[in-house]
Amino acid sequence: MNATDEGATSTNELHADAIVIGTGAAGLCAALTLGREGASVIVFEQLGEVGGMTNHAEGMFAVESKMQKKANVGLTVDEIFHAHMEETHWRADASLVKKFMEKSGSNIDWLEDVGVRFSGLYNISAFSPRVWHQFADFGQEGFIKPLYQRLRELDNVRVFLETPVQNLLVEDDQVTGVSVRTKTGDGLTASARVVVIASGGWQDNKDWLETYGRSRNIRPIAPSRMTGGPIRMAWDVGAGESGLGLVQTVVVVPDEDTNSQLMQAGYQPRLFVNRLGHRYCDESMVWKFPFAGNALINQPEATAWCIFDETAKESMKEPNSLLYALGAFFDILKPLPDIDSEIERGMRERKAFRTESLERMAVMIGVEAEDFLPTVETYNRCCDAGYDFVFGKNRRYLQEIRTPPFYAVRLVPAAFIAMGGIRTNDRMEVLTKDYMAIEGLYAAGCCAGGYLGGSCEISTTGGSCGFAVFTGRTAGENALEYLGK
Ligand SMILES: Cc1cc2nc3c(=O)[nH]c(=O)nc-3n(C[C@H](O)[C@H](O)[C@H](O)COP(=O)(O)OP(=O)(O)OC[C@H]3O[C@@H](n4cnc5c(N)ncnc54)[C@H](O)[C@@H]3O)c2cc1C
């Protein structure tokens, strides 16, 4: 046996010490931890390629890492732990979070040892700590490929792609395996004493997004098949619910790639106006992107427009003129040379408008001129005064809107990730509603609750990937102990 890319067929005899569901950060770390110590492992992945949402990630959280020490970043585990617990209003599981923080630095060492490549240490904004360890060439190249390569070298690990797990099998409160749907559509049972659920988030589940994200208009930023099936499977065998409902939102221009020039122009922190024609936030909140997403979701129809004028638009053609860039998707020092044609495209797609008068702009974006015009006028007075007396936005983001033509780009909320669902302890053992461990069952990564407490924050930038690594390794280590390996 060795790691393969095959899909299971009904002729496969499927038995192993451990089964891992999912091949993102959590699943690969769990499988590698188990496999390197000699446990036989079967990994099931529903999709035709490995990596899940981790393929898209730019970097991961750690504190007191060697990279930070070298860069003289003096943050401590205790400082970040307290910041995180306060920002999550102590709704997160303190014991789990503390262990995650304590191991985060050594997790980077472990990942480097298995071949993961990092390009450097960053903070996502001027307002956040320098804890974001970026992968060389994003998650797919820098993280998933090397990890998967190491897994494939192990004779005792098999990976089955296009083989979704459909049920967990539990007898007398002990896990016995899973049932899967094979590539050919047959049902098949796989047996094991350990199952690690590492199935990621549920941002493709429209109903849950509407319930917990509080809007019908949220779309996943990277659509996939992440509907939370294995979370339900865990509940079906008695697991408790924990932390379900955490949607990490962001403001985007609809249906744009994260690196499109229209996207960059649209979410610059200029003037954001809602469907009532009102300004509704300090626009520089985009730097704390989940907060900006939350603010947008509170607006009518969860929709807004970014308004700017010809001077602002022309300035974007110059290097080093952007006020904001989301994560590592676009180099903030780069210009937008194609912004004119990009706006033309946006106009054809009805997500951008250009017009000579603000009165006409109100009609185009569907707001009342009697609301919209005073909003712009007040904003311009703030710009003249160099002080935002409405929301206190930093003066560097105050640029008047007076030179026609005027532009509007549509903004909607999207979900990077939706997290939580399965209750665990800090050993990542799955717990019932009565806080009893279901023997042999573990959960890791975004499907597990406990890390965040109802709202996303950015002190632990890269935290969801960091948490996936930590919980994947922790689940693997404790499963080895359970297996007596
Ligand atoms: C554009 C983008 C950028 C991001 N940037 C960052 C970042 O910089 N830092 C950060 O920390 N986070 C980031 N995130 C979030 C981050 O990618 C995830 O939170 C994290 O990687 C999740 O890891 P995971 O192992 O829990 O899940 P995933 O990586 O999503 O893996 C779960 C896997 O389980 C599989 N699966 C699901 N159900 C089944 C089933 N029934 N049977 C078999 N397989 C199944 C899925 O197909 C998937 O492959 C980003 C997300 C996006 C979309």
Q: What would the pLDDT profile of 216-238 be if each residue is shown by its tens digit?
A: 889 999 999 999 999 999 999 99
Cis peptide leading into residue 269 (ω within 30°): no
Residue 321 CB contacts under 8 Å (≥ 6 apart), including other chains: 315, 335
> Measured between alpha carbons, how far is 136 from 117 in angstroms, rounded to an integer?
5
What DSSP element (H or E) covers 353? strand 352-355
Reference 267, options 246, 248, 247, 293; nearest CA is: 293
Query: Among 5, 19, 53, which is best to mutate for testing ligand 1, by the most ligand atoms less than 8 A from CB?
Result: 53
Ligand 1 mean position, distance from CA 222 (Å): 10
Predicted pLDDT at 9: 57
Ligand 1 pocket residue status of 446, Cβ below 6 Å: yes
Asked if the model's pLDDT at residue 271 lies above 50, the reply is: yes
Ligand 1 mean position, distance from CA 218 (Å): 18
Q: What would the pLDDT profile of 3-26 be if each residue is shown by its tens digit?
A: 455 555 555 669 999 999 999 999
Share of the chain above pLDDT 90, in %: 90
In which residue are the tokens 């992945």 written? 45
| Residue nearest atom 37 in ligand 1 by C-alpha distance | 199
What DSSP element (H or E) covers 373? helix 369-385
| Residue nearest atom 3 in ligand 1 by C-alpha distance | 57
98 falls in which pLDDT band (50, 70, 90)? very high
Ligand 1 pocket residue status of 221, Cβ below 6 Å: yes
Ligand 1 mean position, distance from CA 233 (Å): 18
> Measured between alpha carbons, how far is 118 from 23 in angstroms, rounded to an integer?
20
Asked if the model's pLDDT at residue 429 lies above 50, the reply is: yes
> Measured between alpha carbons, how far is 205 from 96 in angstroms, rounded to an integer?
26
Predicted pLDDT at 189: 96
Predicted pLDDT at 1: 35
Q: Which residues, in sequence order, are bridge partners of residue 247?
A: 418
CA 180 to ligand 1: nearest atom: 42
Packing angle, helices 369-385 and 358-365, rounded to 10: 130
Ligand 1 mean position, distance from CA 447 (Å): 9
> pTM here?
0.95
Ligand 1 mean position, distance from CA 382 (Å): 42
> What are φ and ψ of residue 199, in 5° steps?
-90, 10
| Mean pLDDT, range 141-161, rounded to an integer | 97
Query: Among 199, 218, 329, which is best to mutate for testing ligand 1, by the most ligand atoms less than 8 A from CB?
Result: 199
Query: Among 45, 417, 458, which is best to mutate for testing ligand 1, by the most ligand atoms less than 8 A from CB?
Result: 417
Ligand 1 pocket residue status of 247, Cβ below 6 Å: no
Q: What would the pLDDT profile of 344-377 be if each residue is shown by its tens digit?
A: 999 999 999 999 999 999 999 999 999 999 999 9
Asked if the model's pLDDT at residue 455 lies above 90, the reply is: no
| DSSP letter for each residue of 73-126 | ----HHHHHHHHHHHTTT-S-HHHHHHHHHHHHHHHHHHHHTT--EEEEE-SST
Q: Where are the alpha helices (DSSP H) in 185-338?
A: 206-213, 229-236, 261-266, 289-297, 310-315
CA 203 to ligand 1: nearest atom: 53
Whether the Cβ atoms of residue 41 and residue 16 lie closer than 8 Å to each other: yes
Ligand 1 pocket residue status of 35, Cβ below 6 Å: no
* Burial letters 386-408, b for 16+ CB under 10 A, else e: eebebeebeeebbbbbeebebbb
Radius of gyration (C-alpha) of the chain in whole angstroms: 24
Mean pLDDT of the chain: 95
Asked if the model's pLDDT at residue 2 lies above 50, the reply is: no
Ligand 1 mean position, distance from CA 24 (Å): 6
Ligand 1 pocket residue status of 7, Cβ below 6 Å: no
Ligand 1 mean position, distance from CA 201 (Å): 6
Counting other chains too, the contacts that 467-470 makes at CB distance below 8 Å and 24 or more residues apart are: 467/61, 467/100, 468/24, 468/25, 468/26, 468/29, 468/54, 468/198, 468/444, 469/25, 469/26, 469/29, 469/60, 469/107, 469/111, 470/99, 470/100, 470/103, 470/104, 470/107
Q: What structural domains and CATH numbers belong to the chain?
A: 18-240+423-483 (3.50.50.60), 252-414 (3.90.700.10)
CA 50 to ligand 1: nearest atom: 49
Q: What would the pLDDT profile of 99-118 be if each residue is shown by its tens digit?
A: 999 999 999 999 999 999 99
Predicted pLDDT at 6: 57
| Mean pLDDT, range 292-306, rounded to an integer | 95
